Chains A and B, each alone.
Chain A
């Protein structure tokens, strides 16, 4: 190691009273056998076939998702109370709305209707024509 890189040399210069660092000598002969040990371990590991580690958590998650999909699908298709909306006729829909009109009230806010009316730009002649048609050609004045 170069002198400028040696920490103990630097410490002697800048702080002579500072405690000198100890070292950790390994057991005798350790560095002589270590290279072969590590190379042998590496060769052994490289020669072994790659074993894919089974992640149980992942398997459980996939199983849970699949079970959910299967149960959900079965419930969706097997439940007789579910109605296919394509089978409802216009008459049935009208009847349903008429019978449950209270549920649809929030959709018809009077404030909204007033705004729509305010934005309408219908000529009075058109209104008169409409009323004549609706009253079987009688004079609309007679209605009031």
Chain B
């Protein structure tokens, strides 16, 4: 089976079908492979946006999938499969940042600017965006980061934050407007 064919097949598979395979000892490996093929790009993009190098992202992504494999039997289906995996990936990023800060004592604020920098490709724009986002009210800041940087859907965010999709959309739009206003005032946009 070619990689592309396998990828197409995995993407079209439902989470339930993948979980059924992954939870059966005979088909476990096949299930894990479909799981990786279906979600590797999305999780990579999420993780890569939070660390400064591909090597770090690769390390975190491998640890994330190993944890997912080990704990998949404990997944109870209360939230979407991706939401559950997103939490594991975020924890792995946090663990990595702890190790990273121990080794290099880099403070998180500077690290965030570095991350925004990676997203936007322009030093000043990235730094300005991070500064403006940090100045937003707590909820708007969190919603903006989850939607803009982590690319979570409103449904996934609603599950995690126990808020309605409408309220989250409103928060996100308010945040975007405030950022735009700040950018205009600083003549960035």
Residues of A within 8 A of B (CB): 1-2, 4-7, 11, 14-15, 17-19, 21-24, 26-27, 30-32, 34-35, 37-39, 41-43, 45
Contact call B180/A17, Cβ cutoff below 8 A: yes
- Taking residues whose C-beta sits less than 8 angstroms from the other chain, chain B's interface range is 35 or more
- Chain B nearest Cβ from A132, distance in angstroms: 88
Chain A interface, >50% SS class = helix
Chain B interface, >50% SS class = helix
- Residues facing A in B31-49 (CB within 8 A) are 32-33, 36-37, 40-42, 44-45, 48-49
Cβ contacts B1-42/A at 8 Å (1 or 0 each): 001000000000000000000000000010011001100111
Return chain A residues, CB-CB under 8 Å to B45: 23-24
Known: A11-B176, A17-B189. 19 other contacts (CB 8 A): A1-B151, A7-B151, A15-B177, A17-B180, A18-B180, A19-B129, A22-B120, A24-B49, A24-B118, A26-B54, A26-B57, A31-B40, A35-B36, A35-B40, A38-B65, A41-B62, A42-B32, A42-B69, A45-B66
B148 nearest in chain A by CB position: A7
Contact of A19 (CB < 8 Å), options: B66, B120, B153: B120
